[in-house]
Structure 1
């Protein structure tokens, strides 16, 4: 997984990028937890999601947002971090100009940033949100949400309590043409210390299911 440095809006950003051997492979971008609480691209859940996309044949990137690791700049309250995510996406699309499928995946604060990016980039095909901080951030901007995705909550999560996430899922599921695949890991807290493999398996199951449905729909046409 080669290290890459690419231009961000507030300086150079550090990432790890796997380029698929498959021609015109799908793309995935993975976003890490809150930088002021130790969140980096090497976070275990972030890394697990990265490896899951890699196993499925994606070209995939995880990166450090501004002020984290070797990335330049400093924390910007989420606004600048959304611009960092867009810059990472721009870099991947420049390297893979013929890819026609794009997924966004985030954990905790990274889930919030990822969903913000989803609203700005209509080419995104699907999304994964693990422990989105629905009680701390207003997700009302998802109106309408452009597509369905996978949301995972921990039943023992005190930082992103499951009832708040459940409320968000219910709201999204009322929207036209949006279905959220909602999975609760009853024994998981916010760290998902013993559930990393389950997160990866859920991601792969969801992505493979959605890609299979899309292929069947295209074949039927």
Structure 2
């Protein structure tokens, strides 16, 4: 497991980085759930998304936000965590200077952070937001949303209820120039606990979507 330590805005950040031998490989960061509710880079959804991107040929970085694991600092209400994500993307891009495609993937709280990072970084070419908690956080900053992406959630999610995710998607659909793809995994809760029925279908959906997007830009 390739462990990395890189400089964050409030001290060192701990991550796991899996590069590809191809120096032109696309890059992706994967962002974990809420630090104050047990969220870490080793969360099962985050771990599986990391390896899903790697299997598609991405050089992938996941990391612990400030105050989690061996990452320095303290929880900062999302403000500092957004800065952490920007620092992680800087680190990843510094290791892959020939890469032309950059993706951000976030789960739950990480989806909220990832969408904010999308607004700050025009170099991000695509995104995946898994179970974005649209009932808990304000996503109105996505005006306009600068890139097309996938939003995916479970129909039995009680933490980020499907109706709130659908409302968010409908607002984004009104914007021109981008395409928001929305997929729901039938019966899945927030954490996609059932591997065969929920986790694997979610990962397959992500891989199908991202592979299609990559094939469209490399034709």
Pairwise TM-score range, normalised by the shorter structure: over 0.9
The 5 Å alignment of 1:163-182 reads 163-182=163-182
Does the aligned pair in 2 maintain the 1:50–1:61 contact within 8 Å? yes
Cα distance in 2 between the residues matched to 1:33 and 1:43:
8
The 5 Å alignment of 1:23-42 reads 23-42=23-42
The answer to whether the aligner puts 1:162 opposite 2:162 as a matched pair is yes
Q: CA deviation at 1:119?
A: 0.2
Cα distance in 1 between the residues matched to 2:129 and 2:179:
14
**2:58 corresponds to:** 58
Cα distance in 1 between the residues matched to 2:28 and 2:133:
21
Q: CA deviation at 1:147?
A: 1.2
Cα distance in 1 between the residues matched to 2:202 and 2:21:
25
**2:205 corresponds to:** 202
Cα distance in 2 between the residues matched to 1:210 and 1:57:
13
**1:219 corresponds to:** none
Unaligned runs of 5+ in 2: none
SS at match of 1:90: helix
The answer to whether the aligner puts 1:72 opposite 2:75 as a matched pair is no
The answer to whether the aligner puts 1:137 opposite 2:137 as a matched pair is yes
**1:213 corresponds to:** 216
Does the aligned pair in 1 maintain the 2:23–2:96 contact within 8 Å? no
**1:107 corresponds to:** 107
Q: CA deviation at 1:178?
A: 1.6
Q: CA deviation at 1:211?
A: 1.3
Cα distance in 1 between the residues matched to 2:135 and 2:129:
14
Does the aligned pair in 2 maintain the 1:33–1:108 contact within 8 Å? yes
Q: CA deviation at 1:191?
A: 1.4
Cα distance in 2 between the residues matched to 1:47 and 1:24:
23
Cα distance in 2 between the residues matched to 1:204 and 1:54:
10
* TM-score, with structure 2 as normaliser: 0.97
Cα distance in 2 between the residues matched to 1:189 and 1:61:
26
Q: Which moved more, 1:59-68 or 1:176-185?
A: 176-185
SS at match of 2:111: helix
Does the aligned pair in 2 maintain the 1:66–1:81 contact within 8 Å? yes
* TM-score, with structure 1 as normaliser: 0.96
Cα distance in 1 between the residues matched to 2:98 and 2:21:
14
Q: Which moved more, 1:180-189 or 1:79-88?
A: 180-189
Two-structure CA RMSD over aligned residues (Å): 0.8
